[in-house]
Structure 1
């Protein structure tokens, strides 16, 4: 039984994100959680490291970070948005295999593996088409797309992340967790009708919530998102 202790919360960023991608959320949850915003190499505090291009390598990197930061006396949750949700599924499975499962996996901005908007390999697009695709996704400031220096810094990060997602789409085939999953999506997202796809990836409890907004609803629904995370943390500890 965990008594009067904070829950650890490991945050996995979206494509192009970094350890700073969840700064908008921290003020609303830091009193309840010990927050760890993780990041893949090639951006943020790890901008001097080489990018990763394989899903297996990205999962291994995240697992290594979590194992290094884990406090065995505390419960923990994993929360990933978009790319972070996809990787979070495999990261959670690896942590189960380490006999150190999270009490819940939270995923957002993603209807789960096997659900695709299109078959475009975005990491192979030329710059004109790539910028068009980034604008359609939202979440990328126009200043980055218009400023040549900013775009030249940001583009390789995005292309590497998209390659991670697009080159091994069957990586999660047959993967089933023994950890509960809670999914969140914006009601304007193209695949929101398939959010219950996530329940096929767990033997445990599954629940979901659809909130107003697009793929990056997280920036406009901060209070709602924080409330969901807190409730999931509380619910996942019942009976522990």
Structure 2
């Protein structure tokens, strides 16, 4: 059972459920809300609690301005994550822009009294290498929409809908600004395992680039799945068992 809470970052929580062994915080890709992970709890079982993260500027926080900085988001989110973990082991998962936010959170929390047990970064080029494609956040609207369409994940009928564009395009552009201008702290991840996931046919984060997450931490595992940029959703039947096993092994 879900209930809306007063906590803006984690607006849904489970009631009448056994205490989990681990909490899995899920940070969405640019423009998406925590609702992207709504179905995951039923697929991972009760031992791992899926905690969707609701970032400002989308879903029930649509009236708030989106944050144009990954570092700024991490600074705002680090405390609430620690509070919501509530002493239990926890894993941070992020997809695309969310992966960069998860990595920055890991850097901030690695020396905290209760750091994450693991980081899972998905569908993202690591922040220390140059992107294969030109930045999107400064493109004119027509070019920006064209590039969004190439990534997939948004139906064509929405991309051509002016009302949808008026409502969501500013926040999407801000999310891409956050991702494309992010530069990590001058330190490497230490003491926290990092698992990098990629899609075999992802044009934004090809497998060769995903492999380079190995350069940012001492303990890195790379796993490539079938699919494009949104492989975590189109290949859930392979991704979620792997993710569940990863959570329960830490």
The normalised TM-score by structure 1 is 0.89
Report 1 or 2 for greater relative contact order, CA contacts < 8 Å, sequence distance ≥ 6.
1
Equivalenced residues, count: 230
1:73-222 equivalence runs, <5 A = 74-118=88-132, 120-168=134-182, 170-190=183-203, 191-203=206-218, 205-222=219-236
User: Which residue of structure 2 lines up, in the alignment, with residue 43 of structure 1?
Assistant: 58
The normalised TM-score by structure 2 is 0.85
User: Which residue of structure 1 lines up, in the alignment, with residue 9 of structure 2?
Assistant: none
Deviations 1:164-206 (A, max 9, x none): 11223x3344332320011111111242113221122222x22
1:166 alignment partner, SS class: helix
Deviations 1:150-172 (A, max 9, x none): 1111101111101111223x334
- In the alignment, is residue 20 of structure 1 matched against residue 35 of structure 2? yes
Task: Report the RMSD for the aligned CA atoms in angstroms.
Answer: 1.8
1:98 alignment partner, SS class: coil
- Do the aligned partners of residues 189 and 80 (structure 1) sit closer, same or farther apart at CA in structure 2, a change above 3 Å counting? same
Per-residue deviation, 1:62 = 2.3
> Which has the higher mean CA deviation after the structures are superposed, 18-27 or 83-92?
18-27
In 2, are the aligned partners of 1:75 and 1:103 still within 8 Å (CA)?
A: yes
In 2, are the aligned partners of 1:40 and 1:61 still within 8 Å (CA)?
A: no
In 2, are the aligned partners of 1:139 and 1:216 still within 8 Å (CA)?
A: yes
Per-residue deviation, 1:66 = 0.5
Q: Could you tell me how far apart the structure 2 residues matched to 1:115 and 1:144 are? A: 32
1:21 alignment partner, SS class: helix
2:177 alignment partner, SS class: helix
